[in-house]
């Protein structure tokens, strides 16, 4: 998919590989106009190397989204819930437990 040879052909769809690859991320993010999205989709339908690149990037995004989720410790969830409840009741949980109320 370079700028010479097979990778730069437009395959009769009006878009070359370099342009398709440049816009691949905006295509995958759904940030293109309908016309531009259809142009790139047409190129990807006809161009095996670009289609493979798009499939790889889409799968990579899926794997990252699946595996890179922060896990919040239960103790932190409880502390945040206590703070929210204390705010609703008009005071902080530390104040109710006497934490941080000593001399400064």
Q: Is residue 57 part of a domain?
A: yes
The crossing angle, in degrees rounded to 10, of helices 34-46 and 48-67 is 110
Domain interval for residue 1: 1-94
Domain count, the chain: 1
Q: Is residue 4 part of a domain?
A: yes
pLDDT tens, position by position, for the chain (104 residues)?
443 334 455 555 568 899 998 999 999 999 999 999 999 999 999 999 999 999 999 999 999 888 877 788 899 999 999 999 988 888 655 555 555 444 54
Q: Is residue 103 part of a domain?
A: no
Degrees (nearest 5) of the Cα angle 33, 8, 21?
40
Q: Is residue 99 part of a domain?
A: no
Q: Is residue 102 part of a domain?
A: no
Output the CA torsion 60→29→54→16 (10° steps): -150
Q: Is residue 55 part of a domain?
A: yes
Q: What SS3 state is found at 15?
A: coil
């Amino acid at each position: 998919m370079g700028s010479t040879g097979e990778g730069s052909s437009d395959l009769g769809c009006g878009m070359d590989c370099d342009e398709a690859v440049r816009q691949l991320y905006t295509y995958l993010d759904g940030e293109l106009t309908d016309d531009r999205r259809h142009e790139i989709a047409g190129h990807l339908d006809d161009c095996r190397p670009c289609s493979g690149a798009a499939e790889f990037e889409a799968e990579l995004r899926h794997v990252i989204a699946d595996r890179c989720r922060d896990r919040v410790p239960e103790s932190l969830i409880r502390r945040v819930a206590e703070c929210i409840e204390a705010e609703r009741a008009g005071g902080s949980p530390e104040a109710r437990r006497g934490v941080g109320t000593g001399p400064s």
